[in-house]
Chain A
Amino acid sequence: MNIFSILQFLSLVILAYFFIISIFYFFTFLLSFKGLITHKIRSNFSTPREILNAKITPPISVLAPAYNEEKSIVTSVNSLLNLEYGQYEVIVINDGSRDNTLEVLIKEFDLAKTSRNTNPQIPTKKISDIYKSRKYDNLVVVDKENGGKADSLNAGINVSMYPLFCCIDADSILEKTSLLKIVHPFMEAYTSVVATGGIVRVANGCIYQNRPYPLVRTSDKLLVNIQVVEYFRAFLSGRMALTMMDCNMIISGAFGLFKKQPVIDIGGYKEGVVGEDMELVVRLHHEMRKKKQPCGIYFIPDTVCWTEVPESLKILSRQRNRWHRGLAESLTMHIGILMNPKYGTVGLIGMPYFFFVEFMSPIVELAGYIIFVTSFYLKAIDILTFSAFFILAVAFGLVHSLLALLMEEVTYHRYPKIKDLLKLMASAVVEHFGYRQYMAIVRAKGIFDWLIGNKSWGLMERIGIK
């Protein structure tokens, strides 16, 4: 077997890989589309107002870990205190901030020390003090030693009073009715639902000031708009389809609602992992399905959390590198689920999807570029075949992005202007020429960093939501 044959064989393998992925994406699109439309119609008959007035709405503890957030914490907490919901408490966990986060909170919300019963069911770093607001009955602030996001959330779970807890990022903003919508599956089937997650939308470019719902606009920056399309693909297409197949394996750390007891039973969030949000969900599936307990984990597409995405390639690279390391950790820690029929669709569809598509794709993609360029250079393939592969790859990717945009337009159409749609469509085209290849390198580097044990979080610079 000569080098030509090897290159030709590898080219074929890569071609087959992308062909299978494209077929899978097509099916996920069909499933998501059905799921989104059904959800949209159903939600017309259980409006947030009705849920608010219902006497069976379960009380919720909202957990917001904060580390060095002195500039944004007051806005975030105020937005949490203004959510529309019956009975809920907001627990801000100050994770040993080095700036004045705690002092700002004490001053702004008139906090006083309290000796609230913490019911420490999950071990955490030491809690120094628990504060309660004199201004707001439902605001609690926990001051603890620095231990990371997972540790903060575990401390929040210990302090929380209610049977459901909602984790959110302190720098994200929830829409006023988000809690009412995200709790709905629990009201329908409390015993079988374990967690629900909302859609994370890009806040850059949107105007939120003094409005219950933001004025939704695209950004002037191409990099941001490309991420908007990526989020559509990930949430509207990916997570919705996985939910439809009962194998959703991610609830975003930015916004998710969990039943407390199952989380306590499996030991809470795992410390020392980069992607603690995905790891928790995969572990819930792993442990609960092993015991044959119901483990409904659902994505709710109209429950919105607005978050700021990186505007510079450097910060975006750090974030994606971290996400990929988190993915690698979560998958390898629970590799026993992979292709294991005991775990139902999670073992046979969810896990293989995340492993062979999400995790492996940057390696295969990069290998593809190298093999095709080498093959072309060594004349193992001709220009026509080379172009054919490239055009097919771009066209399939573009179709996938356009289908995601179509789902958004048919269902929630949050971007009201035609200009925004055109900008997003243009971003969907442009991303295939440079951005996609660069991200493949970044994610492949994430795998390398994971292999050498890099656990860094990386600095995330924020402009601030308007």
Chain B
Amino acid sequence: MLFKLITEFLNDYITNATVILFIIISVLTLILIIIKFSYIFWQNYILKVNSWMKPIFEEYIKNPNNTGILPFYYLLFPNSSILHKYIVFRSFSETGKNFELTAEAYNALKFHKVDLRNLNSIFWWKRAEAARCLGQMRYKKAKPFLIEKLNDPVVEVRLIAAWSLGRIGDTDTILPSMEALVNASRLAGMRLSSTVFEIGEKAIPVLSETLQHSDPAVRLLALHLLGEMRAVESIPVIKNKTVIDEDKEVRIAAYKSLGTISHPSSLSILIEGLKDVLWEVRAQSARGLGIIGSDEVIEPLVSALEDQKWWVRRNAGEALFKLGIKGKASLKQVLEKSCSEHARDMALQWLNEYI
């Protein structure tokens, strides 16, 4: 009965159903072809516009006083948008005078106004792109707006805003950036390292001060950044973070940071670290000693080859390997004389690395 009803329904509406489906198929086919042609057309259009725009702009960069940027003043969409993108894109590979000229052109053509407007767009990707352009062009007046964007609901916008603030280069934006991003995404570290590298050495005192922050996540990030910056002057404050009553992750990061900075003044604390209760600290200490490299680390490292944790033994082996001839001799000795099977295994493995 039900079948009869359905087949009757199908029979009655077969023509309509078929027609509807074929309309859908035709529309989809048409859309596909239109998209393909539009894409090809747009690519060719950009090439065409760039072919006349680029030489004029390059000429302006070479001789700004002769040509000026007058030819670009009255550009309409989409050409203005193509030029906007081109200027920002080319600035990525520029420094010094050339960058300044490009930034001047960006301002003179009022692209900063476009980007400031886009910072409040309802589309997050437009906000992120605007933040990126303003930062890339080091538009200082955008600083308060970018700080505001550190609280944007979309993480990507916050991350890009932090990077842009770094490009602008004021140290007072470091802490707000860290606080806004530290728990937002693991990518915060990646963005903030770009930020502090853009700011340069000026960032070191601020980061050192941040080591007193109440949030361990912020302290952790600061240690990571100080390590990356090889901030020798921050070693004393970093050492303070290795104390036993400090947060576990912060302690590990402090040892790692000392190793990465690789300054001889950290030797004693790293040697002590090889006896720590946390295996992560022991592993980081071994790694750090290998980076610093000194005769006095051989003996503690040889002992660390007997550690219960594979990672500590591995790092100790690698550290001895990095010490060159003396390390090699120690590894050979361990292989021949050590009572610990773990130590002999690890020594053999690293001796094989000399091939």
Contacts and interface: CB of A to CB of B under 8 A. Distances in A.
Interface of A: 5, 8-9, 11-12, 15, 41-42, 44-46, 50-51, 53-56, 112, 114-117, 119, 132, 134, 187-190, 381-382, 384-385, 387-389, 391-392, 395-396, 398-399, 402-403, 405-406, 409-410, 413, 416, 418, 421, 425
A115 B228 contact: no
Contacts of A15: 6
A38 to B, nearest CB: 10
A399 B21 contact: yes
B114 interface: no
A382 B11 CA distance: 9
A190 B186 contact: yes
A210 B31 CA distance: 35
Contact of B37 (A41, A119, A388, A418): A418
Contact of B186 (A115, A134, A189): A189
Contacts of A399: 21, 24-25, 28
Interface string B29-50: 1011101110110000000000
Interface in B35-72: 35-37, 39-40
Interface stretch (B99-107, B143-151, B288-296, B342-350): B342-350
Interface residues on B, range: 35 or more
10 contacts: A46-B187, A56-B190, A114-B349, A114-B355, A188-B185, A387-B14, A391-B18, A396-B21, A399-B25, A402-B25
B36 A45 contact: no
A418 B40 contact: yes
Contact of A115 (B11, B37, B190, B352): B352
Contact of B31 (A134, A389, A406): A406
Contact of B36 (A55, A134, A421): A421
B186 A56 contact: yes
A136 B4 CA distance: 73
Contacts of A416: 40
Contacts of B193: 54-55
A389 B14 CA distance: 9
Contacts, number: 126
B3 A395 contact: no
A189 B186 CA distance: 6
B11 A119 contact: no
Given A46-B187, A385-B10, A116 B355 contact: no
Contacts of B7: 8, 381-382, 385
Contact of B35 (A134, A396, A409): A409
Contacts of A405: 32
Main secondary structure of the interface of B (DSSP, over half): helix
B279 interface: no
B22 interface: yes
B14 A384 contact: yes
Contact of A12 (B6, B22, B36, B355): B6
B99 to A, nearest CB: 19
Contacts of B132: 45
Contacts of A188: 185-187
A402 B28 contact: yes
Contact of B29 (A11, A382, A402): A402
Given A384-B11, A391-B18, A392-B21, A425 B187 contact: no
A36 to B, nearest CB: 14
Interface string B99-140: 000000000000000000000000001001100100000000
Interface in B298-355: 310, 314, 345-346, 348-349, 352-353, 355
A54 B189 contact: yes
A395 B18 contact: yes
A41 B159 CA distance: 15
B2 A12 contact: yes
B83 interface: no
A55 B186 contact: no
B124 to A, nearest CB: 8
Given A12-B6, A388-B11, A392-B21, A410 B35 contact: yes
Contacts of A50: 190, 194
A116 B346 CA distance: 9
B207 interface: no
